[in-house]
Amino acid sequence: MKKMTVLIASLLLLLSLAGCGGGNTVTVGTQTFTETKILGYMYKYLIEDCSNLNVKVKTDLASSSFVLNAIKDDELQIGTLYTGELFNGWFPYKNTKDPENVLQQDQKGFMKYMGIKWFDPLGFENTYAFTIRKDVAEKYHLKKISDLHKMAKNMKLGVDTGWLERKNDGYDAFSKHYGLKFKKVYPMEISLVYKAVENKQMDIVLAYSSDPRIKAYNLVTLDDDRKFFPPYQASPVALNKTLKKYPEIEPALKKLVGKIDLNTIRSLNAKVDLEKRDPADVAKEYLKKQGLIK
């Protein structure tokens, strides 16, 4: 029965990604958070604008590791990933926090071990950020993560579900690095953490630094004073054999390299998260304004 359940689940996944590897169709996969969806649709419009390819966008995939494995297996062909992914054990790596060194290891390692091209960064970093209400930060004089030492044991922490599972930059490694243990840790969808801390359901949450809701909800992020988190520069990634099969894809994706800074991605995220607009519409509008598509 267990084997049958696994088989059915695998077949459903393949069906959901149908068409990714055949004909003149490629599929972009995105994680659950907003900017990956906006970027995914940007890739679609850029590629379709300069080729005869049909590009599908598959949104709300569970995690970056899911996206990576699906690209490696040619169930997806394109995605967005962050340089800190290096530290999740995909291949041997040198432990460093230098952004350029981390990027170079990503580019060499993912090509060698998984046949995936890691492009140069888009121009912004989206790192994890411990986030609290402004009134709490002011009351207890909290400015950096180390300031939580006396309080953590009495605090409820809300985090992105995937972070709990990460070995080298997840909760267990963080607890050892800072010597902190929270009263209880609640895994949740990343889009829910901001309201949870604003409404006092959580005392502190782990947010994404590029999310506009930090500012919109008048929240404060604590400085990673002991430098736990590695660099998380965003880059397009693509299956190398797909790039060779369809050479028009690479120059299309490169049009975004170095062009999207932190303020830009926050502004684009705000249009979706706060104004409730469709990610596809936001992506197309931005590309047209920049003169990147017709």
- Quote the CA–CA distance of 111 and 108 in Å, as a whole number: 5
Low-confidence residues of the chain: pLDDT under 50? 1-22
pTM for this prediction: 0.83
Other CB atoms within 10 A of residue 38 CB: 25
CATH number of the domain at 2-125+231-289, out of 3.40.50.2300, 3.40.190.10, 3.40.50.300, 3.40.50.1110? 3.40.190.10
pLDDT tens-digit profile of 223-268? 999 999 999 999 999 999 999 999 999 999 999 999 999 999 999 9
128-221 and 2-125+231-289 share a CATH fold: yes
Q: Which residue has the tokens 């004073």?
A: 225
Please report the pLDDT score of residue 222 as a whole number.
97
Please report the pLDDT score of residue 294 as a whole number.
87
- Quote the CA–CA distance of 290 and 242 in Å, as a whole number: 27
Domain boundaries, the chain: 2-125+231-289, 128-221
First-to-final CA distance of the chain? 53
Please report the pLDDT score of residue 164 as a whole number.
86
Please report the pLDDT score of residue 23 as a whole number.
59
* Tokens standing for residue 141: 């004089």
CATH 3.40.50.150 is held by the domain 128-221: no
Please report the pLDDT score of residue 189 as a whole number.
87
In sequence order, the 6+-apart residues with CB closer than 8 A to the CB of 274 are 212, 213, 216
Q: Which residue has the tokens 């060779």?
A: 244
